[in-house]
Amino acid sequence: MQFSLGATQAGKPAVEQDVIILGTGPAGLAAAIYAARADRKPLVLAGPDLGGQVALTNAVENYPGFPESVGGGDLFSMFQKQAERFGAVLDFSTANEVDLTVHPFRILADTGEYHAKTLIAATGASPRRLGVPGEDTLLGKGVSYCATCDGAFFRGRNVLVVGGGDSALEEGIFLTRYVSQATIVHRRNELRAGTLLRERAEHNEKIHFLMETVVDEIRGEESVQSVAVHNVKTGKQDVLPVEGVFIFIGHEPNTAVFRGKLDMDPKGYIRIDDRMRTSVPGVFAAGEAADSVFRQIATSAGMGVAAAISAERWLEENK
Ligand code: NAP
């Protein structure tokens, strides 16, 4: 593969690093802390979603060490400060192209071209789209994938929350701070969410459930005005007058930049071994870009740590 800009960009010499990390979620920043403490001065390319999904989470109650819970944004800031304290450098740009057929690997980002002896892919995952009419056109006009970011705009309104997993219930409960009513629409008659969140949601009088129901269309001109749904068992159609639609139906890995360059599973998650090694020696992956199973802040951070230790060993063995 050839970069269109050649070995250097516009005459600017490419910067060579021991370790480049793509992503600033828990995996990327945990890797940065470890690589920085190994004195590798890692460069972290932030990507489009600074802080990853955790930065959008209102309260994190299950990250060890925070018995009273911690704000997602606060946790991200602490990770960042800790990584920078030991010499990691955050570059607020996105890697658009990588060449893993040469070594050092070449990374073409918004801010220029970089060369890396080792690369840690910690690009995370993004919310899955429903794929119904109105979802894209009304995004930011009533359609949202983030209750923490947008919930306050729906004070006193009625909203739909789509999904039946932990995210849908957790975010739905959060939304009841603001909204008059949150209706959780789930395609089956059984929630996927765990008992604790299920009980909390069931006891919340602002939450209603619409089971065995799917969304057909999100309607509105300037903003969301209603949502067309149908019952999957009876086929009965309905139009619900709501002003907001919050969608929490899982995630897709952000691995497009590595497609055709690293082995992936059919869903696009990067395949790794027990040392976070990918199919290309010197390239490691961590967090939700490579994990469709656990998907927790703590597991992603742990994978980031493991990837940094493996990268350090690889650098030592391949001087
Ligand atoms: P998830 O567990 O995969 O649940 C996704 C939900 O969306 C499921 O109920 C699924 O329905 C539904 N869904 C998927 N595609 C759909 C479509 N096209 N149309 C309609 N509905 C669709 O995802 P998640 O809730 O984001 O959770 C991901 C992971 O994070 C889980 O391991 C979860 O335990 C964890 N998490 C934990 C917490 C916590 O512990 N506090 C909070 C948030 C997330 P089906 O059930 O029919 O498949």
Mutate to test the pocket of ligand 1, among 56, 75, 187 (most ligand atoms within 8 A of CB): 187
Q: Say if residue 7's pLDDT is above 90.
A: no
Are the CB atoms for 271 and 279 separated by under 8 Å? yes
* pLDDT band of 55, cuts 50, 70, 90: confident
Cross-strand bridge partners of residue 237: 230
Of 296 and 11, the structure prediction assigns the larger pLDDT to 296
Buried b (16+ CB within 10 A) or exposed e, 162-173: bbbbbbbbbbbb
What does the pLDDT average to over 9-32? 86
Please write the tens of the pLDDT for every residue from 175-221: 999 999 999 999 999 999 999 999 999 999 999 999 999 999 999 99
User: What pLDDT shows up at residue 57?
Assistant: 76
User: What pLDDT shows up at residue 13?
Assistant: 64
Q: Which of 54, 265, 266 is nearest to 285 (CA)?
A: 265
Are the CB atoms for 178 and 93 separated by under 8 Å? no
CA-to-CA separations, 176 to 49, 73, 158, 200, 319, in angstroms, rounded: 26, 21, 10, 12, 56
What does the pLDDT average to over 241-245? 98
Sheet with 158-162: strands ordered across: 143-144, 244-247, 158-162, 181-185, 207-210
CA distance linking residue 87 with residue 84, whole number of Å = 5
Q: Which atom of ligand 1 is nearest to the CA of 294?
A: 32
Of 222 and 49, the structure prediction assigns the larger pLDDT to 222
User: What pLDDT shows up at residue 53?
Assistant: 84
Same topology, domains 15-126+251-317 and 129-247? Answer is yes
For residue 228, give the H/E element and its range: strand 226-231
pTM for this model (two decimals): 0.80
Segment among 67-76, 189-198, 231-240 with least mean pLDDT: 67-76
Q: Is the CB of residue 250 below 6 angstroms from any atom belonging to ligand 1?
A: yes
What does the pLDDT average to over 223-239? 98
**Considering the chain, what is the average pLDDT of its residues?**
93
Segment among 11-20, 103-112, 148-157, 228-237 with least mean pLDDT: 11-20
Are the CB atoms for 270 and 290 separated by under 8 Å? yes
According to the CATH classification, is domain 129-247 in 3.40.50.720? no
Identify the residue whose C-alpha is closest to ligand 1 atom 35: 166
* pLDDT band of 293, cuts 50, 70, 90: confident
CATH classification code of 15-126+251-317: 3.50.50.60
Residue 214 in 3-state DSSP?
Answer: strand
Please write the tens of the pLDDT for every residue from 294-309: 888 999 999 999 999 9
Q: Are strands 226-231 and 237-240 parallel, antiparallel or unpaired?
A: antiparallel
Q: Is the CB of residue 167 below 6 angstroms from any atom belonging to ligand 1?
A: yes
Q: Say if residue 71's pLDDT is above 60.
A: yes
Domain boundaries along the sequence of the chain: 15-126+251-317, 129-247
How long is the chain?
Answer: 319
Are the CB atoms for 30 and 302 separated by under 8 Å? yes
Q: Is the CB of residue 198 below 6 angstroms from any atom belonging to ligand 1?
A: no
Q: Which two tokens stand for residue 68?
A: 């009273």
User: What pLDDT shows up at residue 12?
Assistant: 57
Catalytic residue, candidates 39, 136, 149, 265 = 149
- Cα(169) to ligand 1 centroid in Å equals 9
Q: Say if residue 8's pLDDT is above 50.
A: no
User: What pLDDT shows up at residue 198?
Assistant: 97
CA distance linking residue 57 with residue 76, whole number of Å = 10
User: What pLDDT shows up at residue 295?
Assistant: 86
149 annotated active-site? yes
Q: Is the CB of residue 249 below 6 angstroms from any atom belonging to ligand 1?
A: yes
What does the pLDDT average to over 92-97? 95
CA distance linking residue 293 with residue 165, whole number of Å = 14
273 annotated active-site? no
Q: Is the CB of residue 145 below 6 angstroms from any atom belonging to ligand 1?
A: no
